[in-house]
A and B are shown apart, each in its own frame.
Chain A
Amino acid sequence: MTPDKSDVLYGTLGLMVIKTLEALGPLHGYRIARRIEQISGNQLALNQGTLYPALLKLEQIGWISSKWGTSETGRRVRIYVLTRTGRKQLHKEEAQWQRAARIVERFLKISESRS
């Protein structure tokens, strides 16, 4: 009974979130958003607001958990942590994503050589 991938990954956003949390440890929403933007070299024009429904969904399926804490700037923020399930799932998702990416890549190459 795994949830619908497209739902969970929200167009890969979910994968980016958990990867970020794996790499940097517990973070609050704004930091996650900034990190994703930075990694993508600011190429990914993310509507930062869309991050929150994605976080909620990940929390509902138990891949991340959250608690209220304080940011470096002293604000009350909700801090998200990767759970054990989330960590396991991340590796699966990574592998799956890479496979999918390779397929698409190969597919694109074939199409290029034809034209």
Chain B
Amino acid sequence: MTRLRISLRRLWALVRSRQMDREIDDEITSHLAEATEEYVKRGLSPDEARWAAQRSFGGVPQTKEVYRQVRSFMWLEELSHDVRYALRTLRKSPTFATTATATLALAIGTNTAMFSVLNAVLLRPLPYRSPEQLVMLWTEDPTQNLREGRSALWDVEQWRAQSQSFADMATFDSVSTVLTGADGAEQIVGASISPNLLPLLGVRPVLGRSFSTEETEQRQRFVLISHRFWQARFGGSHDALGATLMLNGLPSQIIGILPADFQIATLDADVWEPHTTRRSVRGPQTWFVVGRLRPTVRFDQAQAEMSAIARRLNDQLPAAERRQGISVVPLNLYMVGPQSRLALWVLGAAVFCVFLIAAANVTSLSLARSTARAREMAVRAALGASAGRIVRQLLTESVVLGAVSGLAGTLLAVVGIDLIRAFGPANLPRLNEVSLDLRVLGLALAMSLLAGILVGLTPAITAMRRDLRPSGEEGGRSVSGGTSSRRIRRALVVAEFALAIVLLVGAGLLVRSWWYVSNIDPGFRPERVVVMEVSSPTTFNIPAQRADLYHRALEQIQAVPGVESAGIIDDLFTGNPREQALTMERDAGTVSERLLFTRDEVSADFFRTLGTPLLRGRFFSIGDRLEAPRVAIINDAMARRAWPGQDPVGRRFMLGARDADGPWYTVVGVVGDMRRQGLEREALPQIFVSLAQNPPSRNVDVFIRTSSDDPLAMAGALRAAVRRVEKNAPIYGVTPLEQQLGTYLTQRRFQTSLLSGFSVVALLMAAVGIYGLIQYSIATRTQEIGLRMAIGAQAGDIFRMIISEGLTLSLTGVAIGLVGASWLGRAGSSLLLGVSASDPLTFTAVSLLLTAVATAACYFPARRAMRVDPIRALRMT
């Protein structure tokens, strides 16, 4: 207890050391005054009395020193002394301090910001109970290239009944939902979930309650609403509970409010309705499936069990569907796929390289400075500072530097995080969770310390070595500036160049991929085309009403001045389509197969509007009326898949299996492939049927090709055209098609621009590094250069000597870096598209760029070296 009390008092003393210094001063002064007064009383003269008082007191400074030692922890006092000294020295060399702090702060700031993204997207557990037990279950069919396929409820029931690995399984999907309110109809994001989904995730409504299975079976219309919807529509009022929403024309009662930011997988909906999971027959509708593993079950065990179940179930399926498998994917892996993960790790590694380069640069700077400070160190050593004490002083200086940089860097990171949240790729999941939490702050702190130690260690070690030699002499003549520290600085420059080239190659490859991707032909011409999403009013329950509405809307739109043509498709950009059975007439006879394809209703002018080329046959025409034989247009991919090597025009097919009683369609035309899942994904097999012959969907995309370079200016006129036909038809945003296509590129743009940014910073830092080294090397070799010139070297020789010194270093770095880059390029090759990981063009261009930068960085110091005046240089001793 006593020792604890002493420690506490000492700590306290440390805090108020200044005041305690003042107090002991006062106390000693009083003491001496009392003593003097007493001596005066005894008859001494004031002067004699003062002397006598001081004699009997003893040495005042010594007393204070002993007092201070007793007062607090000696090492802490020394540390605070060192820190103060370090701050003072840094203030005295502002150029060094500013350069070093700015460099390190930039590096620490970017690292912290980048790590906050990694932390939120990859490291932080998902916001569910025991998220590590959650998996997505998918129906797979490798022969159909079907991965991550949705599953029928009947299948899920079988899985649940037969498996031992799972505590429970739940199903969900988004459903298109129209909300009708006082202000008219609008489209909102809805979700349909099995009633056990929320308990499975361990999520409870923040207000109200969830659905029960019984209520769901009874088909009571209850909904949960998202926190966001609650705030926006009800202002967060408790009155929301029990309120009724008109969803798809039917009243639904709100029974609960979900927690803020709740989403499942990537589904983020405003209203959540339950669906019953009981199915007696295997219906056509399919769902996303999420499962919770029992606590002790591993993913591979669950996968093995599900594969066995899939084999058993296949025997009960129609022959066309017997190749199905089930895959088990951890939920976090599904939410952030391997591609995004790899990209984030690559960016993280890249930004760490930037940090290393920055640290190398500052180390190099501080080595140069410590060589210049050799004399100061020699003096301190002569005055009795031990080698350890000097090393500690130097380390303290660099750690202080690191701490200041870390602070500035963290402030930078705060700005960076805001930028990332604002401009990051919206389709990167969990980006909204990016924040500066304790773990991120911990990283910033660790990096500051690491920077401090890295930067200080080398100068400290060289200082210790130098200490063994009589340094007064070296400091005086400063011939070489310490050979060992120069060797280290050269090695640092080589390392900087090696790291920089790795980054530059990575960025170069990504830029090439970007260039390739943005030049991919999407299969249509998006210029001057706008998309308008239109819904039919919820009262339009007869398909003919909707067909008529769309038909008349198109007529009105086409009459708007500036409109060249207009066409309708139910949805241009498709997510993951489901595989479906298709029965085709081939030469060999009629076959049924399960295929992965899309099927859409389009209006007659759709292809002309989008500019999709017709390869064979014809487009739809006015003749393709409801009463006429049903016709279809397929794309090239479908033609190759369904009728390989044959002319599909005139062939017939039917949607569904052979025994399905659907209408037969005759293929009348083949169009070019459209990339409807984004530019980076190959076109799927696609079937287009006529809007006039098929019941149209409730929501459609209307495409309008305009003659205007600013098609958005026509938005008002276009809306008005639709309103003239039906004023209750909900219209959602009018956006340029080019912009919609662009959203598929945001993630790639994010990766490419970040890595390019990092590599430019790396390049600049490497250039500054080599410039500083060459500059310094010339400054310390002025005499040598003078001597060389005196014995006959020409200015050109000196120039070449300096340049070749720089080039040797940079080329060594480039060579090492190229080896590293080609090795790392293979590891990250899945991020590349249309360019190989060892793309010779990129490698050559980057090597040339770096060499050019190095030459430029050496050029100016070399020019100065040429102008050295031999006489003055030799006199300079």
Q: Is A60 an interface residue (CB 8 A)?
A: yes
Binds B, one of A18-26, A49-57, A104-112: A49-57
B 16-40 to A, binary, CB cutoff 8 A, 1 in contact else 0 = 0000000110111011011101100
The answer to whether A49 and B2 touch (CB under 8 A), given A29-B27, A73-B34, A76-B26, is no
The answer to whether A56 and B67 touch (CB under 8 A), given A48-B56, A61-B2, A61-B5, is yes
Q: Which partner residue on chain B sits nearest A32 by CB separation? A: B31
Q: How many Å from the CB of A61 to the closest CB on chain B?
A: 5
Cα(A47)–Cα(B56), bound, Å: 6
Cα(A47)–Cα(B27), bound, Å: 16
Q: Is B284 an interface residue (CB 8 A)?
A: no
B24, B28, B33, B59: the one within 8 Å of A75 (CB)? B33
A 22-48 to B, binary, CB cutoff 8 A, 1 in contact else 0 = 000000111101100000000000111
The DSSP consensus for interface residues of chain B is helix
Q: Is A15 an interface residue (CB 8 A)?
A: no
CB-CB under 8 A from B438, the residues of chain A are: none
Within 8 A of A (CB), among B511-568: none
Q: Is A113 an interface residue (CB 8 A)?
A: no
Q: Is B10 an interface residue (CB 8 A)?
A: yes
The answer to whether A3 and B3 touch (CB under 8 A), given A28-B30, A50-B63, A75-B33, is yes
Beta-carbon contact of B5 and A60 below 8 Å: yes
Q: Which partner residue on chain A sits nearest B59 by CB separation? A: A49
Q: How many Å from the CB of A34 to the closest CB on chain B?
A: 8
Beta-carbon contact of A52 and B67 below 8 Å: yes
Question: Across the A-B interface, how many residue pairs have beta carbons closer than 8 Å?
Answer: 79
Cα(A103)–Cα(B398), bound, Å: 57
Q: Which partner residue on chain B sits nearest A37 by CB separation? A: B56
Q: Is B62 an interface residue (CB 8 A)?
A: yes
The answer to whether A53 and B37 touch (CB under 8 A), given A1-B2, A47-B57, is no
Beta-carbon contact of B59 and A77 below 8 Å: no
Cα(A50)–Cα(B67), bound, Å: 9
Q: How many Å from the CB of A25 to the closest CB on chain B?
A: 18
A3, A46, A52, A57: the one within 8 Å of B28 (CB)? A52
Beta-carbon contact of B30 and A30 below 8 Å: yes
CB-CB under 8 A from B28, the residues of chain A are: 49, 52
CB-CB under 8 A from B24, the residues of chain A are: 52
Q: Is B641 an interface residue (CB 8 A)?
A: no
Beta-carbon contact of B30 and A76 below 8 Å: yes
Cα(A110)–Cα(B204), bound, Å: 89
Q: Is A71 an interface residue (CB 8 A)?
A: yes
Q: Is A6 an interface residue (CB 8 A)?
A: no
Cα(A30)–Cα(B60), bound, Å: 14
The size of the chain B interface, using a CB distance under 8 A, is: 31
Q: How many Å from the CB of B171 to the closest CB on chain A?
A: 66
Q: Is B71 an interface residue (CB 8 A)?
A: yes
Q: How many Å from the CB of A46 to the closest CB on chain B?
A: 8
Q: How many Å from the CB of B6 to the closest CB on chain A?
A: 5
CB-CB under 8 A from B713, the residues of chain A are: none
The answer to whether A78 and B63 touch (CB under 8 A), given A1-B2, A30-B34, A71-B30, is no
Beta-carbon contact of B10 and A60 below 8 Å: yes
Interface centre among A29, A48, A49, A57 (most CB of B within 10 A): A49
Interface residues on A, range: 20 to 34
Q: Is B9 an interface residue (CB 8 A)?
A: yes
Cα(A1)–Cα(B38), bound, Å: 42
Cα(A48)–Cα(B38), bound, Å: 15
CB-CB under 8 A from B57, the residues of chain A are: 47-49
Q: Which partner residue on chain A sits nearest B26 by CB separation? A: A76
Q: Which partner residue on chain B sits nearest A46 by CB separation? A: B56
Q: How many Å from the CB of A88 to the closest CB on chain B?
A: 13
CB-CB under 8 A from B27, the residues of chain A are: 29, 52, 77-78
Beta-carbon contact of B60 and A49 below 8 Å: yes
Q: Is B588 an interface residue (CB 8 A)?
A: no
Cα(A28)–Cα(B37), bound, Å: 15
Within 8 A of A (CB), among B39-84: 56-60, 62-63, 66-67, 69-71
A3, A53, A73, A75: the one within 8 Å of B66 (CB)? A53
Q: How many Å from the CB of A86 to the closest CB on chain B?
A: 12
Cα(A25)–Cα(B10), bound, Å: 27
CB-CB under 8 A from A76, the residues of chain B are: 26, 30
CB-CB under 8 A from A73, the residues of chain B are: 34, 37
Q: Which partner residue on chain A sits nearest B3 by CB separation? A: A1
B3, B23, B35, B58: the one within 8 Å of A47 (CB)? B58
Q: Is B1 an interface residue (CB 8 A)?
A: yes
B1, B26, B34, B67: the one within 8 Å of A1 (CB)? B1
Within 8 A of B (CB), among A60-115: 60-62, 71, 73, 75-78
The answer to whether A48 and B67 touch (CB under 8 A), given A1-B3, A62-B5, is no
Beta-carbon contact of A60 and B23 below 8 Å: no
CB-CB under 8 A from A30, the residues of chain B are: 30-31, 34-35
The answer to whether A49 and B62 touch (CB under 8 A), given A29-B31, A60-B9, A75-B34, is yes
Cα(A10)–Cα(B66), bound, Å: 12
CB-CB under 8 A from A28, the residues of chain B are: 30, 34
The answer to whether A48 and B35 touch (CB under 8 A), given A3-B3, A30-B30, A78-B27, is yes
Q: How many Å from the CB of A99 to the closest CB on chain B?
A: 22
CB-CB under 8 A from B10, the residues of chain A are: 60
Beta-carbon contact of B70 and A57 below 8 Å: yes
Interface centre among B10, B30, B38, B71 (most CB of A within 10 A): B30
Cα(A31)–Cα(B59), bound, Å: 19
CB-CB under 8 A from B70, the residues of chain A are: 53, 56-57, 60
Beta-carbon contact of B6 and A3 below 8 Å: yes
Cα(A2)–Cα(B5), bound, Å: 12
Cα(A24)–Cα(B67), bound, Å: 25
Q: Which partner residue on chain B sits nearest A62 by CB separation? A: B5
Beta-carbon contact of A60 and B6 below 8 Å: yes
CB-CB under 8 A from A1, the residues of chain B are: 1-3
Q: Which partner residue on chain B sits nearest A45 by CB separation? A: B56
Beta-carbon contact of B58 and A50 below 8 Å: yes
Beta-carbon contact of A49 and B58 below 8 Å: yes
Cα(A44)–Cα(B57), bound, Å: 13
The answer to whether A75 and B2 touch (CB under 8 A), given A48-B56, A52-B63, A53-B63, is no
A33, A34, A77: the one within 8 Å of B30 (CB)? A77
Q: Which partner residue on chain A sits nearest B71 by CB separation? A: A56
Q: How many Å from the CB of A59 to the closest CB on chain B?
A: 8
Name the 5 nearest CB pairs between A and B, nearest first.
Answer: A47-B58, A49-B63, A49-B58, A30-B34, A48-B57
Sampled A-B contacts (29; CB under 8 Å)? A1-B1, A3-B2, A28-B30, A28-B34, A30-B35, A47-B58, A48-B56, A48-B58, A49-B28, A49-B57, A49-B59, A49-B60, A49-B62, A52-B24, A53-B66, A53-B69, A56-B67, A56-B71, A57-B70, A60-B6, A61-B2, A61-B6, A62-B2, A75-B30, A76-B30, A77-B30, A77-B31, A78-B23, A78-B27
Given contacts A48-B31, A77-B34, 7 further A-B contacts (CB under 8 A): A30-B34, A49-B59, A53-B67, A53-B69, A53-B70, A56-B67, A73-B34
Chain B residues engaging chain A, CB cutoff 8 angstroms: 1-3, 5-6, 9-10, 23-24, 26-28, 30-31, 33-35, 37-38, 56-60, 62-63, 66-67, 69-71
